[in-house]
Structure 1
Amino acid sequence: MENEPLLMIPGPVPIPQSVRSAMMRQAINHRGPEFSAAYAEIVRTLKPLFGTENELYVISGSGTAGMEAAVANFGRDRRIVSLVNGKFGSRFAEIAGRYGSATVLESTWGTPLDLAGLEAHLAEGAEVITMVHNETSAGIKNPAPAVGALARKYDALFIMDGITSIGGDLVEADRWGVDVAVVGSQKCLAAPAGLAAVSISDRAWERIAETRPYYLDLAAYRKSGKKDLMETPYTPAVPLFLALREACRLIEEEGIEQRIARHRRMADAVRAAAAAWGVDLFPELDEVHAYSNTATAMKIPAGMTDKDLRGTVKKMGIEIAGGQDHLKGKIFRIGTMGAVGAPEILATLAAVQHALRKHGFDAGDGVEAAAGVLE
């Protein structure tokens, strides 16, 4: 809408009007049939996005609540290996350290994970793996199939943060051997922030911890979810559930394959623009890692500041993301997730191109390059 900033960051993302409108109604009984039907519809729609036939439950809390629920229920007092090559892998490792005996296998942000180190720890008896599938802080997609294969080889549980990939990129949790997967509502699902969905395999249920948190007790969610009227164990954020149900309706209307293709095309367009500008992408890849299809990370050209680049873009009503922690001032990131398409991508790239040229960088025509991908 007019005068609203265009959010082209790795979440939250622009929310469709019908999703906003779904929240603007009188309260309903969260122990009644209307809420139960909405919850069931959400679960039915999300399972194919996860690529799972496992049980799936929705928590009133952000994606981080889902991460903590996964570790607190299935990693407590166990030997955990946390794979890290970005901000959110570090967060997962920190959570793991609160509940289990955590070993952190940290790679430089934006570089490949240490899979050889992972196998060595699994051979020595590690029981649980945590990994971020799509590390938006560095623009790199990590090899979930390879990690899942190692988890199965050594009979370890695989807990995967799919917060910024589920709903926007291919995720096949069951095929990849993911035991617990998590998504957040405000990313590729294009719903308001504040909900997390968690899928749990039969293997994980067999190993659930005896001592569990109260609010994030997934066994309690399982018990309430199996009632005649599907419920949550505690009072849910009802307006957010109704918004997510509408977001799920829009996802089904678009089609999962088409949605994934759209996200990939947008990311391809941004990468094409970067190549035409002469701006370097940040991640360093190998044969099993890939560029993120929901957030592209690029290096800020020498001689230019974060304020020069993102500040200029923001003056035009568009917000893009900067680097986090030690990457502040070194990279910038453009989100390509949720309810956006060619108009938003081209407007964002035009603004970035203007900022690059305004501050002395001899950028080629990235907008034209991106248009060729999007047409």
Structure 2
Amino acid sequence: MELEDTLLMMPGPVPVAPRVLRAMSKPMINHRGSEFAAMYDDCREIMADVFKTKNDIFVISGSGSAGMEAAVGCTLGSQDTAVTLENGKFGERFKSIASRYGKVNPVKAEWGHSFDLDEVERKLEEGAKILTLVHNETSAGILNPAKEIGKLTKKHDALFIMDGITSIGGDDVRIDEWGVDIAVTGSQKCIAAPPGLAMVSVSERAFEVMKGMDRMPYYLDLKAYKKSADKESTQTPYTPAVSLFFALQESLHIVKEEGMDARIKRHTTEGAAVRAAMSALGIEMFPQLKGETRYSNTVSAMKAPEGVSGDDIKKDMKKRGIIIAGGQDQLSGKIFRIGNMGNVMPKDIMLTLQQLEVVLMKRGVISELGTGLEAASEVLDTLL
């Protein structure tokens, strides 16, 4: 199977539009010159609408994890405490990052299970400088209640740091309304650019906290990013990945052309279509929801059918030219995941589900074809 014919239906990286790939082939420019400054300003202006924020936004040449570490490393001192919320792989990553800079007081839930908000508040009452949350936990296909957690964080005067890496640009994310002090996203997810850039929004309140820090990261110093961005000719403090900035700008233009409301509706509808298909096929969703927690709208996580490994489903789909994801760590083999981030279109959803039905039929899970497709089609038709 040629790589050009492979359909990426995983939770990132995602398919990149040909015009974005072409943008990466532009000649190099002076990253301290006016042309780069204009490009960076353009990106930041569009991202303000994507993030729904009036806060400063910066772009770091590094993956989303670099943005996560910048957020924590610039605000958490060695004697400070972070309340870290964990119900999946990336919540655990936030805890690991925080533990290198200060103390951690984790709120743990089983992967794919909802947090106990009363426990969150109790941990905040014990004292915390920051709280970290993964909004959309792709390892388990669960969308955590950022709005409600933001209220608790504000009530207890802690900084709210949110990983929006797989929700910003594809789901309804309201940075200012939810009181998010530092929000992070990555280029290779809902923005649909190649991997390698982290976009970070930072509130004035967060910058005030940074003034009192006795030690900051070097490359990931957000104050340095602000200082460079505030220059007459907008810059990054260190050499940027110029080709990736070309790609980011083109990807953001695609986002702007579609419009954020339409983009959110498309992602939400496609996620609902996958869930409708799973219900029709008798495949159980993995997340266990309660309260304000929801299924992810950008990646669906399903329990592997009895007698079939999620990894087998993943391998069978790959043979058919479609890349989906399996489970990570303790969920290996127990679940399979289908992403619908970025520029994934309804036809891609239908093709993926059609091939999945064939795989499930050959594995003896279902006895006839078309049931899931029909259910998904009814949902996707609302986009026409």
Bin of the TM-score, shorter chain as denominator length = over 0.9
Specify the code of the residue in structure 1 equivalent to 2:91: G
Tell me how far apart the structure 2 counterparts of residues 151 and 281 of structure 1 sit (CA, whole Å).
Answer: 30
TM-score by length of 2: 0.96
Matched residue, 1:350: 354
* Contact 1:278–1:363 (CA under 8 A) maintained in structure 2: no
Q: 1:308 to 1:67 in 2, by over 3 A?
A: same
Matched residue, 1:113: 115
**What's the CA shift for 1:76?**
2.5
Matched residue, 1:27: 28
1:1-375 map, 5 Å: 3-77=4-78, 78-208=80-210, 209-362=213-366, 365-375=371-381
1:311-345: per-residue Cα shift (whole Å, max 9, x none)? 11111100000000000000000001101111111
Tell me how far apart the structure 2 counterparts of residues 315 and 142 of structure 1 sit (CA, whole Å).
Answer: 34
Tell me how far apart the structure 1 counterparts of residues 22 and 124 of structure 2 sit (CA, whole Å).
Answer: 48
Once the two structures are overlaid, the 10-residue window that deviates more, 304-313 or 119-128, is 304-313
Specify the code of the residue in structure 2 equivalent to 1:193: P
Specify the code of the residue in structure 1 equivalent to 2:106: V
* Contact 2:139–2:327 (CA under 8 A) maintained in structure 1: yes
Q: 1:307 to 1:163 in 2, by over 3 A?
A: closer
Once the two structures are overlaid, the 10-residue window that deviates more, 48-57 or 359-368, is 359-368
* Contact 1:83–1:114 (CA under 8 A) maintained in structure 2: no
**What's the CA shift for 1:306?**
2.9
Specify the code of the residue in structure 2 equivalent to 1:125: G
Tell me how far apart the structure 2 counterparts of residues 281 and 50 of structure 1 sit (CA, whole Å).
Answer: 29
Tell me how far apart the structure 1 counterparts of residues 315 and 131 of structure 2 sit (CA, whole Å).
Answer: 39
Tell me how far apart the structure 2 counterparts of residues 303 and 285 of structure 1 sit (CA, whole Å).
Answer: 25
Specify the code of the residue in structure 2 equivalent to 1:8: M
**What's the CA shift for 1:210?**
2.9
**Secondary structure at the residue paired with 1:198?**
strand
1:193-221: per-residue Cα shift (whole Å, max 9, x none)? 00001111111111012310110011100
Specify the code of the residue in structure 2 equivalent to 1:372: E
**Secondary structure at the residue paired with 2:192?**
coil
Tell me how far apart the structure 1 counterparts of residues 130 and 3 of structure 2 sit (CA, whole Å).
Answer: 48
Q: Percent identity?
A: 53
* Contact 1:276–1:363 (CA under 8 A) maintained in structure 2: no
**What's the CA shift for 1:308?**
3.0
Specify the code of the residue in structure 2 equivalent to 1:90: E
Tell me how far apart the structure 2 counterparts of residues 113 and 49 of structure 1 sit (CA, whole Å).
Answer: 27
Tell me how far apart the structure 1 counterparts of residues 273 and 12 of structure 2 sit (CA, whole Å).
Answer: 19
* Contact 1:12–1:186 (CA under 8 A) maintained in structure 2: yes
* Contact 2:311–2:336 (CA under 8 A) maintained in structure 1: no
* Contact 2:107–2:123 (CA under 8 A) maintained in structure 1: no
Specify the code of the residue in structure 1 equivalent to 2:220: L
Tell me how far apart the structure 2 counterparts of residues 363 and 76 of structure 1 sit (CA, whole Å).
Answer: 58
Tell me how far apart the structure 2 counterparts of residues 307 and 123 of structure 1 sit (CA, whole Å).
Answer: 42
Tell me how far apart the structure 2 counterparts of residues 32 and 318 of structure 1 sit (CA, whole Å).
Answer: 42
1:156-175: per-residue Cα shift (whole Å, max 9, x none)? 10000000000000110111
**What's the CA shift for 1:3?**
4.1
Unaligned runs of 5+ in 2: none
Alpha-carbon RMSD: 1.1
Once the two structures are overlaid, the 10-residue window that deviates more, 105-114 or 116-125, is 116-125
Unaligned runs of 5+ in 1: none
